[in-house]
């Protein structure tokens, strides 16, 4: 289960105009729980106007840097990233869960491998961690980074990458592909698409035949294009590692509206249940769970354990009130947002509106 | 850079999701169903097979059976860990249900699940002694191999990776079962073996699900399925019939 620990902010500095690099120190003897693997991310939580937000940011430090560091790029309208960029300061405390994620391959000092990394914009953060750690821990391996950005002034960690190039001469190479700024070589201008990758492979800028593993972190269309090019070039799925930071979930939303006098005391309730975009209104007894009411009306509502353990049947209460008799899977912040386990939830008010699609 | 692609169109184009914050509510639900089905089947399978260890005719057989129980439990744990990232308390989950529970040998439940867990229907039938267990393990092991090849391509990368690690372990279980059946066949116990094949064949076949699933299209769009159930079943039938043939047994 998720457990948050305090981290003290020991340094905050800008890497470009709208991105900060935040150095963190575990407190209360939690150092061990923040021992990370290169490429992993931290999930932070913070309260914004009474609404808890959780956001994940990749660790950009290498294993041997001796510090815990994340990069946070400001997203337009993003509460957490804007706050981190504008208000976060040394001495503040952040709360985060232990590092998570599987965006890495095991390292071995005896390896003599060729790695290829693709990063788009702030997607560099986990890739940077992988690059630094790999170059230190696998003295015979080499790494090539294709780094896509809008222009020169939006390149995060530009100097740090230059330093790495100098330190690991011959083992580390960066190709900057810029969307808007013209470069000496035409191939390095534009977007990193499937065609662009194919060109890079064909023209010999990248010796794709020798690549053991490729790492990709960037926006969705870029990931698709690169993956397609890599597969065409003969890499299998096990050789391609992805990290995606898109959010498939809605952001802050209002808590369910509850009318206190809406429960009549009768045993009947009306439930409007939304599933796969369609809403069905069903009459149900108050001693029947929302899940059973949905299933009883031929809706293909998701469930597995029916014991409040697995959370497969999670739905969101938009109106009315339900009584969730057991919950071993949802966290407090989810419950606060109106999420319930439908296999454990009985209507309290005469009308309830629930949604499995949120 | 075009960054406004929706998760739905990304998935439909073959995109891969990598952590719990990527997933939509419906994707989460289908992914959880897929994971609980696997975990429940492995836990129920391991629990059922555990009871058979002592029935192994020799120490080699008992070692093989114990190894299978251990590794199936470990495979469940691998997927349970991924469920943990979605908030599931793995320790509680592993103990919330009596995994040894079975129905009667002649219960007729088709492909339906029981109310309490998501194990594949086939794991609700009891094993009857050593030879029966080994035959079941052979037929189901071959089915798992086909399923693993399919699920190693799911669009949730952590799960795809777990299945890629699990696939060779499960493949080995099917090999052990094949060796076990071969040994029993040599001992000339063919009619009992054939009776077990007759019993388990339709039940394992049913675990591939119905020929046409209304869900299939949406699961395909989410990248959680690629191949239709019927095609997987046909593949299993062909591969397994060939194995049975070698052993002097027949699928009906």
In a domain, A103, yes or no: no
Mean predicted confidence (pLDDT) in A184-209: 94
Question: Three-class SS of residue A154?
Answer: helix
Count of domains for chain A: 3
Residue B93, SS3 per DSSP: helix
> Is there a single domain that holds both residue A297 and residue A238?
no
Residue A101 lies inside a defined structural domain of this protein: no
Q: What is the pLDDT along chain B (252 residues), one digit of tens a residue?
A: 445 688 889 999 999 999 998 899 999 999 999 999 999 999 999 999 999 999 999 999 999 999 999 999 999 999 999 999 898 989 999 988 888 888 888 888 877 766 678 888 899 899 999 999 999 999 999 999 999 999 999 999 999 999 999 999 999 999 999 999 999 999 887 999 999 999 999 999 999 987 666 678 889 999 999 999 999 999 999 999 999 999 999 997
Residues A344 and A279 in one domain: yes
A147 and B CB contact within 8 Å = no
A197 domain residue, yes or no: yes
Q: In the listed set A51, A70, A96, which residue is the last one of a domain according to the structure?
A: A96
Query: What gap in Å lies between CA A150 and CA A159, rounded to an integer?
Result: 17
Rounded to whole angstroms, what are the CA distances from B38 to B16, B31, B146, B148, B197?
A: 20, 11, 14, 10, 23
CATH architecture observed for domain B20-246? Up-down Bundle (1.20)
Alpha helix ranges (H) inside chain A:
79-86, 124-137, 158-167, 194-202, 220-232, 290-296, 332-336
Is residue A263, in this structure, part of any structural domain at all? no
pTM, to two decimals: 0.88
Strands of the sheet with A114-120, listed across from one edge: A172-178, A142-149, A114-120, A213-217, A240-243
Res A257 pLDDT > 60:
no
- Cross-chain CB nearest to A2 (options B33, B87, B116): B87
Calculate helix-pair angle for B129-151, B59-84, nearest 10 degrees: 40
First to last CA, chain B: 58
Taking the C-alpha atoms of residue A336 and residue A255, their distance in angstroms, rounded to an integer, is: 7
A314 within domain boundaries: yes
Output the 3-class SS for A240-284: EEEECCCCCCCCCCCCCECCCCCCCCCCEEEEEEEECCEEEEEEE
> For residue range B92-147, what is the model confidence (pLDDT) as tens digits?
999 888 888 888 888 888 777 666 788 888 998 999 999 999 999 999 999 999 99
Residue that is last in its domain, among A40, A62, A96: A96
Q: Within this chain, do residues A235 and A120 fall inside the same structural domain, yes or no?
A: yes
Tokens of B72: 């199936």
Residue A59, in any domain of the structure: yes
Residues of B in contact with A355 (CB under 8 A): 25
**What distance lies between CA B30 and its chain's CA centroid?**
17
- What's the rounded mean pLDDT across residues A165-187? 93
Report pLDDT for B3. Answer: 55
Which pLDDT value is given to residue B189? Answer: 72
Distance from CA of A101 to the nearest CA of B (A): 7
Pick B232 or A181 by higher pLDDT: B232
For residue A13, what is the domain's CATH number? 2.40.30.10
A174 in Cβ contact with A180 (< 8 Å): no
Query: What gap in Å lies between CA A66 and CA A31, rounded to an integer?
Result: 11
- Suggest the residue from B3, B150, B209 to mutate for an interface test with chain A (most A CBs closer than 10 A): B3
* CA-based radius of gyration for chain B: 19
CB A235 within 8 A of CB A262: no
CB contacts, 8 Å: B36 with chain A: 304-305, 310, 312
pLDDT per residue over A22-73, tens digit each?
Answer: 999 999 888 889 999 999 999 999 988 888 888 899 999 999 999 999 999 9
Burial of A107 (0-12, 13-18, 19+ CB in 10 A): middle
Q: Is the ipTM of this complex over 0.85?
A: no
Q: Which CATH number goes with the domain that contains A282? A: 3.10.20.30
Nearest-by-CA chain A residue for B159: A102
Q: Which helix (H) or strand (E) holds A22?
A: strand A19-26
pLDDT digits (tens, 9 = 90+) for A146-161: 999 999 999 999 999 9
Residue B121 confidence (pLDDT):
86
Kindly report which listed range (A7-21, A173-187, A200-214, A257-271) carries the lowest average pLDDT score. A257-271
User: What is the spatial distance between Cα A130 and Cα A115, in angstroms, rounded to a whole number?
Assistant: 10
Q: Which chain A residues are Cβ-neighbours of B157 within 8 angstroms?
A: 102, 241-242
A60-78 tens-digit pLDDT = 999 999 999 999 999 888 8
CA closest to A58 among chain B residues: B19
Q: Which residues of A touch B32 (CB under 8 A)?
A: 302, 304, 310-312
Interface of A with B in 6-35 (CB under 8 A): none
B29–A312: do the CB atoms touch at under 8 Å?
A: yes
Q: Are A41 and A119 in contact (CB under 8 A)?
A: no
Examine the domain organization and report whether A122 and A210 are in the same domain. yes
End-to-end Cα distance, chain A: 22
Q: Where are the domains of chain B?
A: 20-246
Domain that holds residue A82: 5-96
Residues 164-223, chain A, touching B (beta carbon < 8 A): 179, 191, 219-223
Using DSSP's 3-state secondary structure scheme, residue B247 falls into coil
The C-alpha angle with vertex B224 and arms to A126 and A194, in degrees rounded to 5, equals: 50
Q: How far is B133 from chain A (nearest CA, A)?
A: 26
Task: Judge if A32 and A92 occupy the same domain.
Answer: yes
Asked if A311 reaches chain B (Cβ–Cβ under 8 Å), the answer is yes
pLDDT band, residue A252 (cuts 50/70/90): very low
Label residue A184 by pLDDT band (50, 70, 90). Answer: confident
């Amino acid at each position: 289960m998720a457990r948050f620990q305090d981290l003290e902010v020991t340094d905050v500095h800008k890497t470009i105009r709208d991105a900060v690099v935040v150095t963190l120190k575990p407190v209360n003897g939690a150092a061990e729980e923040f021992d990370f693997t290169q490429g992993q991310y931290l999930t932070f939580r913070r309260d914004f106007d009474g609404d808890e937000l959780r956001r994940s940011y990749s660790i950009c430090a290498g294993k041997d840097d001796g510090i815990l560091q994340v990069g946070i790029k400001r997203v337009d309208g993003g509460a957490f990233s804007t706050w981190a960029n504008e208000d976060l300061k040394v001495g503040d405390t952040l709360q985060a869960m232990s590092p998570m994620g599987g965006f890495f391959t095991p390292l071995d000092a005896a390896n003599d491998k060729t790695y290829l990394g693709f990063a788009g914009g702030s997607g560099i953060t986990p890739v940077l961690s992988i690059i630094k750690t790999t170059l230190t821990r696998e003295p015979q391996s080499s790494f090539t980074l294709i780094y896509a950005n809008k222009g020169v002034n939006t390149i995060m960690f530009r100097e740090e990458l230059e330093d790495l190039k100098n330190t690991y001469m011959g083992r580390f190479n960066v190709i900057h592909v810029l969307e808007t700024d013209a470069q000496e070589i035409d191939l390095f201008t534009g977007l990193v698409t499937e065609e662009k990758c194919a060109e890079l492979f064909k023209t010999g800028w990248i010796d794709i035949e020798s690549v053991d593993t490729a790492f990709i972190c960037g926006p969705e269309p870029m990931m698709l294009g690169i993956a397609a090019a890599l597969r065409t070039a003969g890499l299998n799925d096990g050789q391609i590692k992805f990290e995606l930071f898109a959010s498939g979930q809605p952001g802050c939303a209002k808590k369910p509206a509850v009318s206190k006098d809406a429960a009549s005391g009768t045993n009947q309730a009306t439930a409007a249940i939304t599933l796969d975009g369609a809403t069905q209104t069903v009459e149900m007894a108050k001693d029947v769970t929302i899940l059973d009411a949905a299933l009883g009306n031929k809706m293909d509502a998701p469930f597995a354990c029916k014991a409040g353990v697995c959370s497969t049947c999670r739905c969101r209460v938009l109106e009315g009130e339900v009584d969730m008799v057991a919950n071993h899977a949802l966290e407090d912040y989810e419950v606060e947002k109106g999420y319930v386990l439908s296999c454990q939830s009985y209507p309290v008010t005469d009308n309830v509106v629930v949604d499995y699609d949120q | 850079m075009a960054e406004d692609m929706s998760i739905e169109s990304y998935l439909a184009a073959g995109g891969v999701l990598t952590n719990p914050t990527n997933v939509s509510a419906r994707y989460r639900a289908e992914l959880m169903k897929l994971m609980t089905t696997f975990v429940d089947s492995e836990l129920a399978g391991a629990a059922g097979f555990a009871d058979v260890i002592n029935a192994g005719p020799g120490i080699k057989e008992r070692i093989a059976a114990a190894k299978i129980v251990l590794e199936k439990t470990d495979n469940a744990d691998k997927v349970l860990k991924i469920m943990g990232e979605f908030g599931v308390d793995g320790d509680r989950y592993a103990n919330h249900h009596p995994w040894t529970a079975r129905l009667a040998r002649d219960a007729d439940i088709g492909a339906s699940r029981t109310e309490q867990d998501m194990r594949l229907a086939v794991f609700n039938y009891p094993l009857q002694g050593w030879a029966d267990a080994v035959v079941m393990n052979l037929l189901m092991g071959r089915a798992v191999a086909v399923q693993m090849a399919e699920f190693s391509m799911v669009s949730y990368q952590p799960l795809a990776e777990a299945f890629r690690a699990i696939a060779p372990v499960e493949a080995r279980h099917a090999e052990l079962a094949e060796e076990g059946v071969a040994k029993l066949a040599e001992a000339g116990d063919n009619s009992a073996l054939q009776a077990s094949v007759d019993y388990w064949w339709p039940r394992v076949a049913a675990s591939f699900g119905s020929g046409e699933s209304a869900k299939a299209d949406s699961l395909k769009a989410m990248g959680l399925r690629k191949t239709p159930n019927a095609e997987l079943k046909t593949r299993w039938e062909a591969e397994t019939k060939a194995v049975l043939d070698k052993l002097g047994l027949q699928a009906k």
